[in-house]
Amino acid sequence: MTTSTHVQTFRYGGWVFNIDSALTIVKQPHHTPLPTSVAAWADAYHLNQLGPDYQGASWCPVFGPDQSHFNVEHAMQTDLARPVIIATMEFDGAEAVLLIDGVHRIYRAMVENRPTLPAYLLSVTETKQIRER
């Protein structure tokens, strides 16, 4: 008998981030969740364009993660107390952030008019550790 283990990942274009590894990192004592803006992430990921009846029609914005598998029912059942995870990457000497875990939670918080959600922020070094490609 074989058992398979599912590794949770987040795909953004050609990049793949290992969420299971990120969850291990944020369990370290130096990681404390901080508030992050729901509206900013909803705008950045075009979640504000999804109507409440959206159930996964194939579309993918030019900027933002693939929404083709977005499920409103799942989003509305998510635990908003569970912090989202934000990766930090470096481009041309400047840092840029990317929400890699919690898109469904951001959607629910947006629908419920919550201004912030708790978030873990990974450093550039930590993000490199969890990026598979």
* Helix-then-strand count for the chain, H and E: 5, 6
Report residue 72's pLDDT band, with 50, 70 and 90 as the boundaries.
confident
**pLDDT tens string 112-124:** 999 999 999 999 9
The overall longest dimension of the chain from CA atoms, in Å, is 50
- Give percent above pLDDT 90 in the chain: 63
Weakest mean pLDDT among 47-61, 74-88, 107-121: 47-61
| Res 84: pLDDT | 98
DSSP assignment of 41-55: HHHHTTGGG--TT--
pLDDT band of residue 47 (cuts 50, 70, 90) is confident
In a domain, 1, yes or no: no
- 42 in a domain, yes or no? yes
Q: Is residue 101 part of a domain?
A: yes
Q: Is 4 part of a structural domain of the chain?
A: no
Q: How confident is the model at residue 62 (pLDDT cuts 50, 70, 90)?
A: very low
Q: SS3 of 35, please?
A: strand
Asked if residue 3 is part of any domain, the answer here is no
pLDDT at 105 over 70: yes
**Residue 61, in any domain of the structure:** yes
The residue-averaged pLDDT of 61-70 equals: 57
Cα separation values, 26 from 23, 53, 82, 110, Å: 5, 34, 12, 24
Q: Which of 29-43, 69-83, 91-105, 109-123 has the lowest mean pLDDT?
A: 69-83
Q: Number of folded domains in the chain?
A: 1
pLDDT value of position 64:
52
Question: Which residue stretches of the chain are H helix?
Answer: 19-26, 38-44, 72-75, 103-111, 124-130
Strand pairing category for 34-37 and 84-91: unpaired
- Domain around 16: 9-130
Residue 58 gets the label, from left (phi > 0), alpha (psi -120 to 50) or beta, of beta
